[in-house]
């Protein structure tokens, strides 16, 4: 049955957990934004497009922010209770630390189960949306930005320069436009004293309404003579239309990304792993099928040639020369060598292709297994870091964002580094995928049990007064001596 004490501890935990989780998620999203800021800014992307990307990326970062939020909230919750002597009162009432942790442990297990469902169903979809959108944004062209005194070549086959650009952003003066659409160099040049840039409502075209200018066009004679014709035309007003459709964001078909491992759930990953296992089991048969025609032909050919040579030999030789080719007649030796060399090269090429294909599939196989285990390790990390954070808070006995924040980040960094190390070992094939992905959990779980035991015994490892008492005792010993 749920006791009032259970409700108290859960309420004490939920508030800090919500705050720390969203603060952690915000920090991780900002880290992502700063990482790709140089590639996204200056491309004229709308606020809605940026918000979409940040939303999808924040969804993909939830599995990483959740364990950090849990360990930080656990240390803060139990630290506050210890600082206010509530833990002392609870223990004096005959309630053990494990009994006090039990409702929160059930709550964290529930969160861990929900996190697995989220990782398995929501994260693949969010990865599909986020990574496909990020790919399109990174490969989109920068926005058309015409600066005074500089040649602009953003529009294909055109080089544009304006001497001055008014503050309204549309009026331009001393305009020079080089048209390279013919592929014959600067054979078309437009010069105007002033003009105005007008954008169509759908932003697909840019109209340069030029005034008081000249157009120079040079025509090459079809007969190849050097006497080319040049035409000069004066205009009072002339509209030059530029197509800006290439500057628009071109969305890639998302079906091209859906077969990546980040977009798969546990069932799909298991199917890919099973397919890879079945393929690997068929490799010996495939190699045999590839090589058997060449080996059998070589065997039959050599048998026929040897029988031709030895048919008139009454007594077979008791020993042979170390080189097989000496048994072949001189008239057939060159042909046999050419055939053997050709078959050896063909066999080698087939084996190399098979090995290359197997290497790629082996890398994909390791990636699928790593991602399959990741679905479970990130969920179990919530429970693991709670088992570390709760006793740490009871030992530290400090609330707030001071010492708890430092200790929580330290343990999370250790967990993250060991997770990355184990993953890299698994990718290189140094260890099995399950060993690499569960290595951090296996190394930190004993530490969690030790911390729980220390918290049950009211350990003062993190107490400043405990170290001061030890130092005073040691100082007294040296003073007496």
Sort strands 229-243 and 151-152 into parallel, antiparallel or unpaired. unpaired
Q: Is 431 helix (H, G, I), strand (E, B) or coil?
A: coil
193/124 Cα distance (integer angstroms): 56
Average confidence score pLDDT of the chain:
79
Would residue 459 count as lying in a domain?
no
CA 166 to chain centre: 44
Residue at token pair 């014959």 = 184
398/389 Cα distance (integer angstroms): 12
Check whether 425 has a pLDDT greater than 80.
yes
Q: Which of 18, 11, 5 is nearest to 72 (CA)?
A: 18
Would residue 11 count as lying in a domain?
no
Residue at token pair 């490799």 = 283
Other CB atoms closer than 10 Å to residue 207's CB: what's the count? 15
Would residue 203 count as lying in a domain?
yes
Two structure tokens written together for 17: 């957990």
Would residue 107 count as lying in a domain?
no
Confirm whether pTM is higher than 0.95.
Answer: no
Would residue 222 count as lying in a domain?
yes
19/401 Cα distance (integer angstroms): 11
Average pLDDT over residues 436-457: 87
Average pLDDT over residues 159-175: 84
Nearest-5° Cα angle at 82, 416 to 450: 45
Q: What is the domain count for the chain?
A: 1
Give me the sheet containing 158-165, strands edge to edge.
Answer: 151-152, 158-165, 171-179, 188-199, 205-219, 229-243
Residue 300 has a pLDDT of 47
Total residues belonging to the chain: 481
Residue 467 has a pLDDT of 58
Would residue 206 count as lying in a domain?
yes
Contact 67, 378 (CB under 8 A): yes
Q: Which of 103, 104, 92 is nearest to 458 (CA)?
A: 92
CA 243 to chain centre: 35
Average pLDDT over residues 343-349: 83
Contacts of 417 (CB under 8 A, 6+ apart): none
Contact 56, 133 (CB under 8 A): yes
Would residue 200 count as lying in a domain?
yes
Range(s) of the domain holding residue 217: 151-247
- Split at pLDDT 50, 70, 90, the class of 311 is very low
Q: Phi first, then psi: what are they for 163, rounded to 5°?
A: -75, -40
pLDDT digits (tens, 9 = 90+) for 102-111: 888 999 999 9
Would residue 210 count as lying in a domain?
yes
């Amino acid at each position: 049955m749920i006791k009032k004490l259970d409700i108290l501890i859960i309420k004490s935990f939920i508030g800090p957990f919500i705050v720390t989780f969203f603060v952690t998620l915000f920090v991780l999203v900002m880290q992502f934004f700063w990482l790709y800021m140089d590639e996204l800014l200056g491309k004229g992307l709308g606020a809605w497009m940026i918000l979409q990307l940040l939303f999808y990326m924040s969804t993909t970062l939830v599995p990483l922010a959740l364990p950090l939020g849990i360990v930080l909230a656990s240390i803060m919750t139990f630290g506050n209770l210890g600082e206010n002597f509530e833990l002392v009162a609870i223990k004096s009432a005959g309630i053990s630390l494990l009994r006090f942790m039990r409702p929160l442990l059930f709550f964290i297990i529930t969160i861990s189960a929900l996190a697995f469902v989220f990782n398995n169903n929501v994260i693949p979809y969010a990865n599909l949306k986020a990574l496909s959108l990020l790919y399109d944004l990174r490969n989109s062209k920068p926005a058309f930005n015409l600066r005074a005194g500089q040649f602009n070549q953003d529009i294909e086959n055109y080089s544009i320069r304006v001497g001055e650009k008014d503050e309204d952003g549309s009026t331009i003066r001393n305009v020079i436009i080089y048209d390279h659409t013919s592929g014959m160099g600067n054979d078309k040049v437009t010069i105007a004293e002033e003009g105005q840039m007008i954008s169509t409502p759908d932003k697909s075209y840019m109209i340069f309404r030029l005034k008081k200018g000249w157009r120079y066009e040079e025509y090459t004679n079809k007969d190849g003579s050097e006497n080319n014709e040049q035409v000069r035309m004066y205009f009072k007003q002339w509209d030059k239309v530029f197509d800006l459709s290439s500057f628009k964001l071109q969305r890639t078909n998302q079906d091209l990304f859906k077969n990546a491992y980040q977009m798969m759930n546990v069932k799909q990953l298991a199917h890919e792993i099973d397919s890879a296992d079945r393929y690997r089991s068929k490799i010996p048969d495939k190699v045999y099928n590839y090589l058997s025609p060449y080996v059998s032909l070589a065997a039959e050919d050599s048998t026929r040639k040897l029988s031709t040579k030895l048919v008139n030999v009454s007594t077979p030789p008791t020993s042979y020369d170390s080189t097989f080719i000496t048994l072949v007649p001189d008239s057939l030796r060159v042909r046999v060598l050419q055939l053997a060399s050709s078959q050896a090269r063909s066999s080698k090429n087939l084996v190399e292709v098979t090995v290359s294909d197997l290497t790629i599939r082996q890398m994909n196989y390791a990636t699928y297994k790593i991602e399959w285990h990741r679905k479970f390790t990130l969920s179990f990390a919530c429970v693991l870091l709670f088992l570390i954070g709760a006793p740490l808070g009871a030992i530290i006995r400090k609330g707030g964002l001071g010492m708890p924040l430092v200790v929580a980040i330290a343990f999370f960094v250790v967990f993250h580094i060991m997770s990355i190390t184990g993953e890299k070992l698994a990718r290189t094939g140094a260890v099995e995928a399950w060993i690499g992905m569960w290595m951090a959990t296996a190394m930190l779980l004993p530490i969690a049990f030790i911390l729980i035991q220390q918290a049950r015994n009211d350990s003062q490892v993190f107490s400043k007064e405990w170290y001061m008492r030890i130092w005073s005792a040691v100082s007294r010993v040296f003073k007496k001596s």
